[in-house]
């Protein structure tokens, strides 16, 4: 998916607010407080000296329109692999291998029927997606595997109801996730544009925020993580 320019404009607006409150250099803030490095397909090591990142920053210094430059630069990198390397996908769900015999679940709104992929009418299909996914896990991975989720979606009952209660019960907040899509993804619709219902209150709170250590409170949802043994999913 190619994301809309407004998605990058939003992150630049946030970065300038961080700079204003903290006094930190914009180059540092863009690296540490936005999803740009990952969206440019540069991985998750966040090396400030990466030549592609340095090329972006050089262009940023030379332009009179940082938002336009950022999006044009992104479009030259849009084909680079920015998303997580998944093992297999089943409907809206996929999974990736993590260290320590763990797998991480991922969700993408791939339903093209025009209705909400997490709506009541789609609960059966989403559980069928998960059933197929865990059949694949059972056939291909060791018996003792931990299942991990990291997403803003775990704030939603429509999402939580798809999983074992014991899995959801482990929910805890992950702080300082400004570089990750599990935080910024809450602003995106299925087409890569922005959800006005999410961005409007975010920007209103951002304008009023006066403390850098409380910037996370501007986001409608925080990133949550959950984890449980795979056997609980097989039983479910």
Confidence band (pLDDT; 50, 70, 90) for 199? very high
Q: What is the mean pLDDT of residues 96-118?
A: 85
Cα–Cα distance list, 70 to 49, 75, 132, 164 (Å): 18, 9, 39, 41
Is 63's pLDDT higher than 70? Answer: yes
Local structure of residue 119 (DSSP, 8 states): S
- Reported as a single tens digit per residue, the pLDDT across 129-150 is 999 999 999 999 988 999 999 9
pLDDT digits (tens, 9 = 90+) for 4-33: 999 999 999 999 999 999 999 999 999 999
Give per-residue pLDDT as tens, 110-130.
765 667 889 999 999 999 999
Q: Are 119 and 171 in contact (CB under 8 A)?
A: no
Orientation of helix 26-33 relative to helix 5-22, angle to 10°: 120
CA 189, CA 147: separation in Å to the nearest integer? 26
Check: CB of residue 145 under 8 Å from CB of residue 101. yes
């Amino acid at each position: 998916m190619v994301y809309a320019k407004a998605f990058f404009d939003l992150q630049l607006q946030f970065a300038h607010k961080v700079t204003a409150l903290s006094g930190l250099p914009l180059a540092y803030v863009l690296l540490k407080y936005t999803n740009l490095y990952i969206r440019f397909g540069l991985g998750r090591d966040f090396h400030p000296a990466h030549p592609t990142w340095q090329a972006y920053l050089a262009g940023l210094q030379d332009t009179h329109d940082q938002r336009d430059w950022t999006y044009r630069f992104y479009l030259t990198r849009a084909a680079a692999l920015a998303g997580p390397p998944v093992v297999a996908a089943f409907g809206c769900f996929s999974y990736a291998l993590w260290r320590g015999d763990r797998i991480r679940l991922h969700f993408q709104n791939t339903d093209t029927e025009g209705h909400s992929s997490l709506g009541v009418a789609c609960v059966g299909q989403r559980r069928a997606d998960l059933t197929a996914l865990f059949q694949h896990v059972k056939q291909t991975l060791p018996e003792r595997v931990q299942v991990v989720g990291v997403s803003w979606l775990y704030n939603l009952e429509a999402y939580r109801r798809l999983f074992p209660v014991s899995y959801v019960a482990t929910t805890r907040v992950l702080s300082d996730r400004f570089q990750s899509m599990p935080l910024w993804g809450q602003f995106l619709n299925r087409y890569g544009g922005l959800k006005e219902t999410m961005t409007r209150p975010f920007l209103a709170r951002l304008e009023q925020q006066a403390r850098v250590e409380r910037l996370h409170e501007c986001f409608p949802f925080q990133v949550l993580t959950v984890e449980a043994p795979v056997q609980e999913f097989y039983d479910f």
